[in-house]
Copies of this chain bind each other. A is one copy, B any other.
Amino acid sequence: MSIDLAVIPGDGIGPEVIAEALKVLRAVTGPAGVELELTEYALGAQHWLETGETLSDETLVKLRRHDAILFGAVGAAPGDTRIPSGLIERELLLKIRFALDHFVNLRPAKIYPGVPSPLAAPGKVDFVVVREGTEGPYVGNGGVLRKGTDQEVANELSVNTAFGVQRVVRDAFRRAALTDRKKLTYVHKHNVLVHSGHLWKRTVEAVAADFPEVAVDYLHVDAATIFFVTDPGRFDVIVTDNLFGDILTDLAAAVTGGIGLAASGNLNMDRTAPSMFEPVHGSAPDIAGQQKADPTAAILSAALLLDHLELPELAAKINAAVTADVAERGQLGVRPTSAIGDAIAARLG
Enumerate chain A interface residues (CB-CB to B < 8 A): 85-86, 89-90, 94, 116-121, 137-138, 140, 142-144, 146, 148-163, 166, 189-199, 201-202, 221-223, 225-226, 228-230, 243, 246-247, 249-251, 253-255, 258-259
A162-B191 contact, Cβ under 8 Å, with A247-B225, A251-B226, A254-B226: no
Contact B161 A154 (CB under 8 A): yes
Separation in Å of the A202 CB from the closest CB of chain B? 7
Separation in Å of the A137 CB from the closest CB of chain B? 6
A199-B158 contact, Cβ under 8 Å, with A137-B193, A225-B250: no
B residues near A86, Cβ cutoff 8 Å: 190-192, 194, 197
B residues near A118, Cβ cutoff 8 Å: 119-121, 229-230
Contact A156 B157 (CB under 8 A): yes
Residue of B nearest to A258 (CB): B230
Separation in Å of the A81 CB from the closest CB of chain B? 12
B residues near A255, Cβ cutoff 8 Å: 229
Q: How far is the CA of A194 from the CA of B155 in the complex (A)?
A: 9
Contact A191 B90 (CB under 8 A): yes
Q: How far is the CA of A194 from the CA of B94 in the complex (A)?
A: 13
B residues near A138, Cβ cutoff 8 Å: 192
Between A and B, 16 residue pairs with Cβ closer than 8 Å are A85-B190, A89-B191, A89-B192, A118-B120, A137-B137, A137-B193, A142-B195, A146-B162, A152-B199, A155-B160, A156-B193, A158-B158, A225-B251, A228-B254, A230-B258, A251-B251
A154-B223 contact, Cβ under 8 Å, with A194-B86, A229-B255: no
Separation in Å of the A321 CB from the closest CB of chain B? 26
Residue of B nearest to A198 (CB): B154
Separation in Å of the A1 CB from the closest CB of chain B? 37
Q: How far is the CA of A78 from the CA of B95 in the complex (A)?
A: 39
Contact A142 B193 (CB under 8 A): yes
Q: How far is the CA of A146 from the CA of B166 in the complex (A)?
A: 15
**CB-contact partner of A156 in B121, B153, B158, under 8 A:** B158
Q: How far is the CA of A251 from the CA of B221 in the complex (A)?
A: 10
Separation in Å of the A197 CB from the closest CB of chain B? 8
Separation in Å of the A117 CB from the closest CB of chain B? 7
B residues near A197, Cβ cutoff 8 Å: 86
B residues near A143, Cβ cutoff 8 Å: 195
Contact A247 B247 (CB under 8 A): yes
Q: How far is the CA of A199 from the CA of B149 in the complex (A)?
A: 10
What 15 new A-B contacts, CB under 8 Å, besides A146-B162, A150-B163?
A: A85-B198, A86-B190, A90-B192, A90-B194, A119-B120, A137-B158, A142-B194, A142-B196, A151-B162, A151-B163, A155-B159, A225-B225, A225-B251, A228-B251, A230-B258
